[in-house]
């Protein structure tokens, strides 16, 4: 199964100048959007049209919540995707696609936020304070069901715990086929090591989920504006983010490929 992998397209910044792929060239069987496509639910109509006739697996990132109430945005994304013929919103959700040869692929999707333990339990509280002080997530996202207050690091850590528990249960279920996990945040220090080192807000970009990753065949993530392609045991971990538009008009990630395909072998 040929999977077109995209994330961090940031249409809220690029608009009509966003880099475009060529479906005639990439010939995908399905499309994965691993978050930060646009703010709110605006990406859904674009995805439904741009990839008409193809199943699209969409996991929201942090930027979908910018300028919005996160809990309401999730509801809006559910409703918007349900109104399309081809876009599937995975918010602790599962979708199975079976190809013409009868080979099944299970897609498990969740944002997965982070637990802020990337650099150790003893640094967790400091990492949460740093994230709230530095990252726009905690300034530009609100929660309607919490008195319309701003998002906090404790909230996203709780979301992570809930989503990790769901993913752990799903990966424990037997499945006759390949398993693809889609998240926005990264599942391993291996994704952030050379981009952020051991400093700054790296615990807000990834968690140590290597043991979970080893139970999947492919893990797709975004959030980090640099391409990734490595293995954790049998699992291939990839990211193909576009990133922000630079002053030169080029993508922040010079390695971004709008036609990036993973050809997932049958199992």
Q: How many CB atoms lie within 10 A of CB 264?
A: 20
- pLDDT of 200: 66
Sign of CA dihedral 126, 129, 132, 134: negative
Q: CA-CA distance, 30 to 20, in Å (whole number)?
A: 16
What domains appear along the chain, each with residue ranges and CATH number? 2-263 (3.60.21)
Phi/psi-derived region of residue 25, left when phi > 0, alpha when psi is between -120 and 50, beta in every other case: alpha
What is d(CA 210, CA 22) in angstroms, rounded to the nearest whole number? 33
Confidence of residue 197 (pLDDT cuts 50, 70, 90): very low
pTM, full prediction: 0.96
Residue 264 CB partners (closer than 8 Å, separation 6+): 1, 2, 3, 105, 178, 180, 217, 218
* Cα 243 from Cα 225, distance rounded (Å): 5
Window from 4-8, 94-98, 123-127, 198-202 with minimum mean pLDDT: 198-202
> pLDDT (tens digit, 9 = 90+) per residue, 96-108?
999 988 999 999 9
Q: What is the mean pLDDT of residues 49-61?
A: 98
Q: How does pLDDT run across 114-166, given as a tens digit for each residue? A: 999 999 999 999 999 999 999 999 999 999 887 889 999 999 999 999 999 99
Contact (Cβ atoms closer than 8 angstroms) between residue 108 and residue 164: no
């Amino acid at each position: 199964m040929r999977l077109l992998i995209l994330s961090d397209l940031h249409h809220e910044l690029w608009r009509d100048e966003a880099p475009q792929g060529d479906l005639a060239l990439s010939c995908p069987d399905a499309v994965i959007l691993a978050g930060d496509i646009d703010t709110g639910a605006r990406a859904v109509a674009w995805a439904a049209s741009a990839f008409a006739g193809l199943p699209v697996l969409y996991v929201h990132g942090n930027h979908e919540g910018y300028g919005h109430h996160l809990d309401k945005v999730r509801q809006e994304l559910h409703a918007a995707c349900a109104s399309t013929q081809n876009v599937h919103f995975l918010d602790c959700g599962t979708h199975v696609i079976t190809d013409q040869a009868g080979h099944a692929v299970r897609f498990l999707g969740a944002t997965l936020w982070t637990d802020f333990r990337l650099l150790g339990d003893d640094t967790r509280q400091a990492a949460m304070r740093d994230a709230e002080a530095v990252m726009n997530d905690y300034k530009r996202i609100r929660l309607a069901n919490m008195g319309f207050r701003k998002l906090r690091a404790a909230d996203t850590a709780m979301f992570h715990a809930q989503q990790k528990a769901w993913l752990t249960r799903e990966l424990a279920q037997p499945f006759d086929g390949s398993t693809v996990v889609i998240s926005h945040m990264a599942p391993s220090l291996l994704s952030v090591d050379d981009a952020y080192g051991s400093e700054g807000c790296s615990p807000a970009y990834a968690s140590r989920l290597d043991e979970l990753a080893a139970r999947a065949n492919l893990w797709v993530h975004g959030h980090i504006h640099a391409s990734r392609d490595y293995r954790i045991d049998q699992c291939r971990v990839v990211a193909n983010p576009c990133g922000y538009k630079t002053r030169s008009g080029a993508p922040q990630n010079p390695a971004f490929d709008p036609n990036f395909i993973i050809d997932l072998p049958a199992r």
